[in-house]
Structure 1
Amino acid sequence: MNKHDPITLEIIQNSLRSISDEMFSTIAKTAMSPIIYEVLDMATAIVTPEAELASAGSGIPAFVGALDKSVAKVIEIYGVENIHDGDIFATNDPYYGGVTHLNDMVLLKPVFCKQKIISWTVNIAHWNDVGGKSPGSMSIDATEIFQEGIRVPAVRIFSQDEPISGVFNMIVCNSRMPDFLKGDMWAQVSALRLGAKRIIELAEKYGVDTYLSAVEGYLKLGEQLARNQIKKLPDGIYNIQDLQDNGCTLAVSMEVRGDELHIDLTNAPVQSSGPDNLSRDGTLLGCQMALMGLIGDREMANGGCFRPMIVNTKQGTIYHAVEPAPCGIYFETMIRLNDLLWRCLAEQITEQLPAGNFSSICATIMGGTHPDTGRHYSIIEPEIGGWGAGQGFDGVNAMFSAMHGDTFNCPAEIAEARYGVTVGQMALNDEDGGAGEFRGGKGITLDYVIRNDQSFLTCAYTRAKEQPWGLLGGHCGTTNRINVVRTSGEVERHSMSTEVTVNKGDIVRVITANGAGYGDPKNRKRSAIESDLKNGYVSQDYAKQVYGFE
């Protein structure tokens, strides 16, 4: 068969996407933890023998781009000659190919055909608890990575398709929820095996050379797509600085050179004593997400898309931390970077890109003793919020941030059955803010009523002080935070807190930001304001004051 036949190549390329999605569905149907099977806090991918992303399945954008980096680290540590058919490797350590933080476990399997590696199947999922000083393995006050859980530095956990019991048991033993961890791990293993089987069937059907040619063609297509989008940007240097909730200023410099994008992040704060650090790979991932947002074709995400981008970092900064810096809440630094890159472009290309959104993962971790079962429970959830408006459209209500793209919020029925809480309400955030000719989207208000004493709350929210940014006269949005409403009526505000004690009857009220507006509010159409009033998106006083509505 002619390995350059375009129809055959396209069949193989589409098959790769289908295989990635089938792996994703396998994990969703077999995992133990709601954070995986309901929220879908996971991702799957196929990676080339040279450690480039060949095809991405559904899943969190911030995970998909991590998986090729994990493969590269395993190859670096072991060498191709020491990797065998039937091996499976695991890593969660951001300094050893884990990229993100210790809760996110990456499993990798080399796919052999005719005695050589033709691909890797890879997946990643957020595990509820991997040990460490705090339940849920995330804490705002961690000062070194050793406090955040067991480090799995790209180790072999299967050999000849059998688990290496010592390694396997050591990982399970370090969790406060070992049965959930074991179930989630086996779900990931089954997805790897299924993906490998499908790839071998594909390569045997069309021939290994044709398969590899199709993969390289797919990467070149992704590269060309990215270069075409970058070329649409005006050449030049784009600079921006942005004040953060903690009082520091983050800066970024971007240069467009024809069909290449250069990002300079060397002017960054020194690495943090807290857990908000990014590995170098994590920073690359944040930049890649911004580029894919610009490209706008989620299905085309592959390693070729990232070839035209060059990212410079400085070792020892928050964008290139060195061990043993903790990384447990890396995601807030990553989403802040993504937001900063987006704003850097949006303020120059206002007709193409929207205003600022709630841009936080709004990580909410609660746990304690389940009042019905007497067992430890743990809630680990990202939250949905409001997006910014753009030219010709209002912002989207109640969607996940750019990092969490394909995930879902946990249904109230599941939360109440599996967790020790009652869901009191879930409604759109009725606060005023984000006015503009086109208004920002609405965040949410979500109440969890605690059902047992001595439960705890940990949270990591940014955009809790500095609001989402407006464009062309649009107003800023509102802020993210949690209000703990005590049974006494006292209200405590939290955004970055660890193990706050909450007791029976207390309400943990999640409030996510409304997105920012676009354009002068005075230009908003009367019919749109009337609709906003009818739906409760604005108050009568706000409509009069900001929109001039009588």
Structure 2
Amino acid sequence: MADRGSALWPPTSACPGSRDFNAQFAANALGAERLIDLATRYGTDRLGEAMTELIAYSERRMRREIAALPDGTWHGEDAVDDDGIHDEPLPVRVAITIDGDQIEADFAGTAGQVTRNLNSPLSSTASATYAAIKATLTSPDIPFNHGMTQPVTLRVPYPSLLNPQPPAPVHARMEACYRVFNAVMKALAGAVPERVIACGYDTTTALTMTRFDGRHYEVVTEVLGGGYGASANSDGESALSSPLANCTNTPVEALDLDYSFFRLRAWALRTDSGGAGRHRGGLEYDRVYEVLEPGSTLTLYADRFRLAPAGLFGGHEGTRASCRVERNGRIIDVASKDMMPLEVGDVVTIRTGGGAGYGVPDGRDPDMVDDDLGEGYVSIHRARRHHAWHGAAMEGR
């Protein structure tokens, strides 16, 4: 065994994740130390009172924001592409009711529990619901704590995709959670159209490549970003981690240093991948890998390969994600939840999906179209087709 810091790892195993774990352990230890320091400085009674007041403050602010909205019931729906076994979408349906200073989210009509690990525990379903409601209805300065959840009532069928009966596989829950976020956002569009965003790529596009040479086992996993949906005020952002995640992109240089069995051949935004609208959806990107050594395997966990992100108020849908392997001049399509062995020379291309547009494309400011053309975000063909714009500035671009 080899001693790597405070942890012991077999000499034949690469464990780059140990650094992440150690960072989390250190952060947790520092947090505990500072909490003890606060209790020592101010006393446990006073500290407890401050914590209680902070929770009450969040609830008061949340109720005040909700009370300012119109009462009513609005519906939203989205779906996971499939469960990776059966070729059927898994719908997530919600009815959002605002009544005074309270909100109810009723998920009646949502898909039943599945045998694959896509089920979302009730706690995760609740978290995705709270995230959509808070992001839409409140200001960022309201603390995200137990108090802000008090005005929100959830009704989730049991057993179901969003509230499974144990024992249930739940590891890949995030696809269902994203559809909760999207469905709630669509429902809230009826109450506060100026505050919501259209659907984005919104999926955990997790691409894993592994290699075993008989002694060493190498693993690389990337959780890839995509295009956000547009809003009433702006275009969607391009190539970002999804709204419920916190993953950053992996620098190409780091991958080159850490892995020898593949290399990145390309990484670029894809023209015309954001949904057209008065405000355009964010762009996806293409990430292209070339396999250099034998014994490699590709595993993919993703979504939005079949069902594109929906636009709002006349905005066009975003682009679907996809993955393909080019092998000796032949194209092999890879399903969103699949794995396959790779060969030397294979070229893997993942397209992460673009965000949907907001508002009818004819309403887009011509200057914004001109900027899109200059940046390469849209093509001349699309500018002419979707924006009814025929400026001379387009010629020669």
TM over 0.5: yes
Instruction: Note if 1:524 corresponds to 2:330.
Output: no
- Paired with 2:358 and 2:267, the residues of 1 have a C-alpha distance of 27
1:384 equivalent in alignment to 2:225: yes
2:146 corresponds, among 284, 287, 303, to 303
Match of 2:394 in 1: none
Rounded to whole Å, the distance in 1 between the matches of 2:287 and 2:156 is 38
Paired residue type of 1:415? L
Which letter maps to 2:37?
Answer: E
Alignment of 1:122-161 (within 5 A): none
Partner of residue 185, structure 2: 342
Report the counterpart of residue 174 of structure 2 in structure 1. Answer: 331
Q: For the aligned residues, what is the CA RMSD?
A: 2.6
* TM-score normalised by L of structure 2: 0.87
2:24 — aligned with what?
188
Residue from 398, 409, 415 that aligns with 2:255: 415
Structure 1 residue 432, shift from structure 2 partner: 4.7
Deviations 1:509-528 (A, max 9, x none): 12122211112211222222
Given the superposition, is the C-alpha separation of residues 190 and 432 from structure 1 closer, same or farther in structure 2, using an over 3 Å criterion?
closer
Query: C-alpha separation between the residues in 2 aligned to 1:463 and 1:298?
Result: 32
Deviation at 1:341, TM superposition (A): 0.8
Where does residue 435 of structure 1 map in the other structure? 276
Task: Return the offset for 1:263.
Answer: 1.1
Q: 2:344 aligns with which of 487, 504, 509?
A: 504
Unmatched 5+ stretches in structure 1: 1-30, 33-162
User: How many residues are paired up?
Assistant: 378
**Are 1:355 and 2:191 counterparts?**
no
8 Å CA contact retained: 1:521, 1:547 = yes
Alpha-carbon deviation of 1:545?
1.6
TM-score after normalising by structure 1:
0.64
The reply to whether residue 279 of structure 1 matches residue 121 of structure 2 is yes
C-alpha distance 276-368 of structure 1, shift in aligned 2 (>3 A)? same
Q: 1:256-282, CA deviations, whole angstroms, 9 ceiling, x for partnerless residues? A: 121111111243222101111011212
Compute the displacement of 1:184 (Å): 4.8
CA distance in 1 between partners of 2:206 and 2:291 (Å): 18
State the AA in 2 paired with 1:463: R
Mapped pair 1:210 → 2:53: no
Shift in CA distance, 274/177, structure 1 to aligned 2, threshold 3 Å: farther
> Which residue, 449, 462, 466 being the options, matches 2:303?
462
Distance 1:433 1:180, change over 3 A: closer
> In the superposition, relative to structure 1, how do residues 383 and 278 fare at CA in structure 2: closer, same or farther (>3 Å)?
same
Give 1:394 shift.
Answer: 1.4
Point out the structure with the larger helix share.
Answer: 1
Match of 1:232 in 2: 68
2:51 partner amino acid: V
Shift of 1:469: 1.2
Structure 1 residue 299: Cα displacement: 7.1
Greater mean alpha carbon deviation, residues 468-477 or residues 425-434: 425-434
Question: What is the rounded CA distance, in whole Å, between the counterparts of 1:453 and 1:262 in structure 2?
Answer: 54
Query: What secondary structure sits across from 2:200 in the alignment?
Result: coil
Cα pair 1:483 1:509 within 8 Å, conserved:
yes
AA of the residue aligned to 2:319:
T
The answer to whether the aligner puts 1:450 opposite 2:286 as a matched pair is no
Q: Which residue of 1 aligns with 2:37?
A: 201
Structure 1 residues 348 and 299, CA, compared in 2 at 3 Å: closer, same or farther?
Answer: closer
- Write the deviation string for residues 49-69 of structure 1: whole angstroms up to 9, x where unpaired: xxxxxxxxxxxxxxxxxxxxx
Q: Which blocks of at least 5 consecutive residues in structure 2 are unaligned? A: 83-88, 391-397
Q: Which amino acid aligns with 2:117?
A: P
- Whole-angstrom distance in 2 between the partners of 1:298 and 1:454: 50
